[in-house]
């Protein structure tokens, strides 16, 4: 039976589980075309999910402060999932479904590349609506207009819901995307954000003022948690300019393996590259001991000489005096679609468990493999377009 919005408007865990299981079964139905999703989860149900989530997300600032009880609660931090529905459901099986004692922070990049971004993001929204305090959805660089037009999510919506309904839902998606918070502080000592560190407002290319020491050549001035708390979430397409600079940096930046402070990220053409020295200064100045970020899978890391390997889904990138910066990537055997003649990565993926007993600042990664075989499907984007270095 097609999903229907609960009469009382209350989304329960049972409702989300039923939706997940019918979406999953639909992907394995040999007779079902992608268009069949509109029967499993009708357009009005999808629209109501977007609408209910939008109301909640509008209340959240760019930096969400999570203060879980220090006993008996785990917080699971999930990295990029990129439309790999079956792997996402496996992760939720392994970690346990969201609940009052099992919190989740999803660190962006729900959509694009994989064939089931529509389903995966809908389920993430459903868990958010079901348990708004316990489930936090953060924005990734793919939750924007540019990436979703190039890497498949927009086309996937149009194929699955038809042009008219698909376009209406895509407009709702963009409204939701630009209300997603940029970062979450978990407990007192841990910060979760998608890409990485960011410049101070007006930190431009860093001219030394009278009070500030002159930064290194081309260095940017490092931002602080307070800047993030009051930042604009960046609009439909954070472009690195003006008020959108912090959002763009958070979504697009990468760590590097030498100490160069904070500089422009020429590799991606947006965001920053930040060295271990910048990480240490940021941890020290903001009273943190752990930063968890995502944004780089095995393909992105392949060309980055000196950076830790991410084929298990987890890497410690900076281990410095005041703490650590780690990458968590949650899409196994990524990307789902590869160019002819390319070799598959067959990477494992991970999520990270934080517990109150260790102050929510000791990352315990749990690694897992992809669900195989994947149901057959076609990509919704041109797999010959650009690599992860651009996106």
**Cβ neighbourhood burial of 360 (10 Å; 0-12, 13-18, 19+):** buried
**CATH of span 16-368:** 3.60.21.10
Looking up tokens 């099986």 gives: 93
Strand ranges across the sheet with 254-255: 254-255, 272-274, 262-264
Q: Reply yes or no on whether the pLDDT at 31 is more than 70.
A: yes
Q: Mean pLDDT across the chain, nearest whole number?
A: 94
pLDDT at 219: 67
C-alpha–C-alpha distance, residues 317 and 315, integer Å: 6
Parallel/antiparallel/unpaired status of strands 272-274 and 254-255: parallel
Mean pLDDT for the stretch of residues 35-50:
98
Give the tens place of pLDDT for each residue, 84-129. Answer: 999 999 999 999 999 999 999 999 999 999 999 999 999 999 999 9
Determine contact, residues 356/73, Cβ cutoff 8 Å.
yes
Q: Which residue has the tokens 């977007």?
A: 50
- For residues 26-48, average pLDDT: 97
Determine the pLDDT at residue 213.
45
Residue extents of the structural domains in the chain: 16-368
Give yes or no for residue 211 having a pLDDT over 60.
no
Is a pLDDT exceeding 60 seen at residue 216? no
Q: Residue 120: its pLDDT value, please?
A: 99
Task: Give the pLDDT confidence of 146-168 residue by residue, as tens digits.
Answer: 999 999 999 999 999 999 999 99
Torsion of CA 347, 299, 115, 156, to 10 degrees: 160
pLDDT in tens, 330-366: 999 999 999 988 999 999 999 999 999 999 999 999 9
Q: For 258-312, how does the pLDDT look when each residue is reduced to its tens digit (9 = 90+)?
A: 888 999 988 888 999 999 999 999 999 999 999 999 999 998 898 888 899 999 9
pLDDT band of residue 389 (cuts 50, 70, 90) is very low
Structure confidence at residue 304 (pLDDT): 87
Judged against a pLDDT cut of 60, whether residue 212 lies above it is answered with no
Q: Does 77 have pLDDT greater than 80?
A: yes
pLDDT at 337: 97
Helix, strand and coil in the chain, % to nearest 5: 35, 15, 50
Give residue 210's pLDDT band: very low, low, confident or very high (50, 70, 90): very low
Confidence band, pLDDT 50/70/90 cuts, at residue 64: very high
Distance CA 22, CA 47 (A): 18
Sheet of 102-106: strands edge to edge? 135-137, 102-106, 74-78, 349-355, 364-368
Which among 82, 86, 142, 318 is annotated as catalytic? Answer: 142
pLDDT at 390 over 60: no
- Find residue 8's DSSP bridge partners: none
List, for residues 10-22, the tens digit of each pLDDT value.
999 999 999 999 9
pLDDT at 218: 57
Any catalytic annotation for residue 318?
no
Q: What is the pLDDT of residue 215?
A: 44
């Amino acid at each position: 039976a097609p999903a229907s919005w609960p009469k009382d408007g209350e989304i329960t865990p049972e409702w989300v589980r039923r939706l997940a299981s019918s979406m999953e079964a639909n992907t394995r139905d040999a007779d079902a075309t992608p268009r069949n999703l509109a029967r499993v989860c009708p357009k009005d149900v999808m629209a109501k999910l977007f609408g209910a989530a939008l109301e909640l997300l509008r209340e959240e600032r760019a930096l969400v402060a999570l203060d879980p009880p220090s006993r008996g609660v785990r917080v699971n931090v999930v990295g990029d999932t990129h439309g790999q529905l079956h792997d996402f459901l496996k992760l939720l099986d392994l970690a346990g479904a969201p609940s009052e004692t099992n919190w989740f922070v999803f660190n962006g990049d729900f959509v694009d590349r994989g064939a089931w971004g529509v389903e995966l993001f809908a389920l993430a929204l459903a868990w958010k609506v079901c348990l708004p305090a316990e489930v936090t959805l953060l924005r990734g660089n793919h939750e924007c207009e540019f990436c979703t037009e190039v890497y498949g999510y927009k086309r996937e919506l149009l194929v699955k819901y038809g042009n008219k309904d698909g376009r209406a839902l895509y407009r709702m998606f963009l409204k939701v995307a630009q209300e997603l918070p940029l970062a979450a502080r978990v407990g007192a000592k841990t910060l979760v954000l998608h890409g990485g560190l960011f410049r101070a407002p007006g930190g431009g290319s860093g001219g030394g003022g009278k009070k500030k020491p002159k930064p290194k050549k081309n260095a940017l001035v490092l931002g602080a948690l307070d800047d993030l708390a009051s930042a604009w979430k960046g609009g439909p397409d954070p472009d690195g300019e003006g008020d959108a600079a912090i959002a763009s940096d958070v979504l697009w930046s990468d760590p590097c393996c030498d100490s160069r402070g904070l500089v422009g990220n020429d590799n991606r053409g947006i965001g920053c590259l930040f060295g271990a020295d910048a990480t240490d200064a940021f941890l020290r100045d903001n009273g943190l001991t752990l930063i968890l970020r995502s944004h780089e899978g095995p393909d992105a890391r392949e060309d980055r000489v000196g950076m830790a390997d991410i084929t298990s889904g987890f890497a410690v990138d900076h281990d410095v005096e005041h703490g650590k910066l780690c990458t968590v990537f949650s899409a196994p055997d990524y990307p789902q679609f590869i160019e002819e003649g390319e070799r598959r990565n067959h990477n494992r993926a991970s999520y990270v468990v934080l517990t109150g007993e260790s102050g929510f600042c000791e990352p315990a990664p749990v690694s897992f493999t992809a669900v195989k075989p994947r149901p057959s499907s076609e990509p919704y984007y041109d797999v010959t377009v650009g690599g992860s270095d651009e996106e």
